[in-house]
Amino acid sequence: MEQQQRKSKRHIWRYPIAGICSAIVLFTIAQAASTFFGTASSPLVALGSTIIDFTPPWLKDLAIGLFGTNDKLFLFITLSITAALLAATVGLATARSLALGLSLVIGLSVVLGASVLSRSATNFLDLIPTIVGTILGLGTLTLLAGMATRAGVPTVHPQSENTTSRRKFLLGSAGTVALGLLAVGATQALRTIRNTADSARAALGLPPAKVKAQAPPPGAELDVPGASRFVTPNQDFYRIDTALSVPQIDPQDWSLKIHGMVEKEFTLTFNELLDMDLVEHYLTLTCVSNPVGGDLVGNAKWLGYPLRELLAQAKPLPGADMVLSTSIDGFSASTPLEALTDSREALLAIGMNNEPLPLEHGFPVRMVVPGLYGYVSATKWVVDLEVTRFQDKAAYWTTRGWSERGPIKMSSRIDTPRSFAKLPVGKVVFGGTAWAQTTGVSKVEIRIDNGPWQEVELATELSADTWRQWRFEWSDATAGNHSATVRMTNAQGELQTEDTAAPVPNGSSGWHRLQFSVE
């Protein structure tokens, strides 16, 4: 008896492994099966998205601050570690009783299923991947827990039995995991072959713009090494969204419903949009989460149809003051109706820098609105526009502690030198950018240490909707530690505020300052 107890203690490690293996099988099989349903039918994606939706603003901000656009990788790693710990605990429970372990798995699967169903654009059919994964996960747990238990029973040839049972257990574990991974690999390959959004994007020839954008004047680019370019290449453009997996939309399946407080509701198809009089416009997009000096800002040439014209066709009713735009993945933004009907070039965009929108930037259709942070205006994968009132509806981030309106705060940034750079004595070249969308930048000043404010050279302005690069030469940089501070003035003569504010609830403010040394 004593002998047996010691033995089972020695084999106890097999149970957590059995638990982890069955979790891997559950998730990989469900992931594989989700290929045949909507993306949110993967319990991993659904759970991750649900967590993102419930992440308090301060934590989201901290994650973006710490990990930048890798915040989702961070979420994924945290999620994996948590899942592994949970699975190990469930495994250990089976050492006590298999029924207990199996019930725990079923309980956790119910949570997974609930998070799948809670996603927008899922229905009961999307539960199938979770159910199939759970069945195979339960099977794996039963099998491996059985092997673990048999290994704990003493026999007449303890030694040899011990090694074979261990080998069997390890083989069994490795085998189930390998099968799961194989299933994911195979379906992933299938997904790539069938990926209609990717191939539709590749096949899409953008129609020419009826109104071409004015080309940036030669002076719009200052070419300071280490400073950002005037136009941000698509692959370098910051990406912020709540989508764990990029929505895949076949343009032929896309349509936009315009409804709510309008005289005439209608639905727009992609082909209809292609046939409309499209315009081009350069516009600098900014994220409300951008910290002072941060890089969640980019400038691109957008091709699209003016939302002003689209809304004119729907004829908003008196009293309406907001348009709630909703993405296929459930994200929504509240944009003041005025910003979409006044003279600014707010677009229902299909093109970015002469290409169809990249998938992660909203293919096939998104919104971009000059002067407003992305969270209240730049809905990607947009499928629904509801004309309504601020007092009746609230958008995604508004219900999570951010302001219902988000005009972009004027801002300026030092791109080069970098913080804590070590530079040789002599000439130091500073470069950066400043933006005040819809108003325009009229002056940028720099201060070295606590010296006087000095005006910098400004790039030629393309329009008030785009940022302006700047350049400054400090010709007699002296050895020692220094700081540089930058500030701007907008075209109405208003100076950028020195008061610092955190991104929550409506955008950061304060002067960008950095330290460097000259030696």
Ligand X SMILES: Nc1nc2c(c(=O)[nH]1)N[C@H]1C(S)=C(S)[C@@H](COP(=O)(O)O)O[C@H]1N2
> Least distance from C-beta 73 to Mo ion, angstroms?
18
Q: Which of 83, 287, 307, 357: binder of Mo ion (CB under 5 A)?
A: 287
Residue nearest ligand X, CB atom distance: 374
Ramachandran class of 507: left when φ > 0, alpha when ψ lies in -120 to 50, beta otherwise: left
Residue 385 touching ligand X (CB under 6 A): no
| Partners of residue 355 on adjacent β-strands | 352
Residue 375 touching Mo ion (CB under 5 A): yes
Residue 285 touching ligand X (CB under 6 A): yes
> Least distance from C-beta 403 to ligand X, angstroms?
13
Write the binding mask 106 to 145 for ligand X: x where contact by CB under 6 A, - elsewhere: ----------------------------------------
For residue 329, give Cα distances in angstroms to 106, 154, 351, 416, 453.
Answer: 27, 55, 20, 38, 47
151 and 171 Cβ atoms separated by less than 8 Å: no
> Least distance from C-beta 434 to ligand X, angstroms?
19
Pick the closer one to ligand X by CB: 53 or 221. 53
Pick the closer one to Mo ion by CB: 285 or 347. 285
Task: State whether residue 379 is helix, strand or coil.
Answer: coil
| Encoded amino acid at 419, one letter | S
Give residues with Cβ within 8 angstroms of 293, minimum separation 6.
413, 414, 512, 514
Pick the closer one to ligand X by CB: 331 or 470. 331
Q: Which of 230, 331, 511, 516: binder of ligand X (CB under 6 A)?
A: 331
Site residues for ligand X, 355-374, by CB under 6 A, read 361, 374
Query: Comparing C-alpha atoms, which of 135, 165, 172, 164 is closest to residue 150?
Result: 165
Can you tell me the distance from the alpha carbon of 23 to that of 92, in angstroms, rounded to the nearest whole number? 13
What is the number of alpha carbons within 13 Å of residue 258 lying toward its C-beta?
Answer: 20
The helix-helix angle for 98-118 and 71-96 (nearest 10°) equals: 150
* φ/ψ of residue 438, rounded to 5: 75, -15
Can you tell me the distance from the alpha carbon of 50 to that of 330, in angstroms, rounded to the nearest whole number? 11
- Token pair recorded at residue 139: 């099977």
Which partner, Mo ion, ligand X, none, binds residue 443 by CB below 5 to 8 Å per kind? none
Q: Which of 241, 280, 386, 415: binder of ligand X (CB under 6 A)?
A: 241
Pick the closer one to ligand X by CB: 22 or 379. 379
Residue 402 touching ligand X (CB under 6 A): no
Which partner, Mo ion, ligand X, none, binds residue 381 by CB below 5 to 8 Å per kind? ligand X
Q: Which of 278, 378, 387, 486: binder of ligand X (CB under 6 A)?
A: 378
Residue 374 touching Mo ion (CB under 5 A): yes
Which partner, ligand X, Mo ion, none, binds residue 302 by CB below 5 to 8 Å per kind? none
Pick the closer one to ligand X by CB: 224 or 383. 383
The helix-helix angle for 14-34 and 128-152 (nearest 10°) equals: 160
| Partners of residue 426 on adjacent β-strands | 477
**40-79 core/surface letters (b: 16 or more CB in 10 A; e: else):** bbbbbbbbbbbebbebebeebbebbeeeeeebbeebeeee
Can you tell me the distance from the alpha carbon of 294 to that of 297, in angstroms, rounded to the nearest whole number? 8
Work out whether strand 512-518 and strand 422-423 pair parallel, antiparallel, or are unpaired: parallel
Pick the closer one to Mo ion by CB: 304 or 374. 374
Residue 24 touching ligand X (CB under 6 A): no
First to last CA, the chain: 76
With tokens 């250990």, the residue in question is: 92
Pick the closer one to ligand X by CB: 305 or 373. 373
> Least distance from C-beta 381 to ligand X, angstroms?
5
Span of 327-335, 426-434, 435-443, 485-493 interacting with ligand X by CB under 6 A: 327-335
Q: Which of 27, 238, 254, 511: binder of ligand X (CB under 6 A)?
A: 238
For residue 177, give Cα distances in angstroms to 26, 38, 171, 215.
Answer: 10, 24, 10, 55
Task: State whether residue 327 is helix, strand or coil.
Answer: strand
Which partner, ligand X, Mo ion, none, binds residue 45 by CB below 5 to 8 Å per kind? none
What is the number of alpha carbons within 13 Å of residue 427 lying toward its C-beta?
Answer: 5
> Least distance from C-beta 121 to ligand X, angstroms?
12
What is the number of alpha carbons within 13 Å of residue 23 lying toward its C-beta?
Answer: 24
Q: Which of 239, 259, 400, 447: binder of ligand X (CB under 6 A)?
A: 239
Write the binding mask 197 to 236 for ligand X: x where contact by CB under 6 A, - elsewhere: ----------------------------------------
Which partner, ligand X, Mo ion, none, binds residue 386 by CB below 5 to 8 Å per kind? none
Span of 1-9, 27-35, 325-333, 495-503 interacting with ligand X by CB under 6 A: 325-333
Pick the closer one to ligand X by CB: 126 or 241. 241
Query: Comparing C-alpha atoms, which of 500, 307, 282 is closest to residue 409?
Result: 500
Residue 381 touching ligand X (CB under 6 A): yes
> Least distance from C-beta 237 to ligand X, angstroms?
6
Write the binding mask 213 to 252 for Mo ion: x where contact by CB under 5 A, - elsewhere: ---------------------------x------------
> Least distance from C-beta 168 to ligand X, angstroms?
48
Residues that bind Mo ion (rule: CB under 5 A) add up to a total of 4
If you compute the radius of gyration of the chain from its CA atoms, what whole number of angstroms results?
28
Pick the closer one to ligand X by CB: 287 or 459. 287
Q: Residues interacting with ligand X, by CB under 6 A?
A: 237-243, 285, 287, 327, 329, 331, 361, 374-375, 378-381
Q: Residues interacting with Mo ion, by CB under 5 A?
A: 240, 287, 374-375
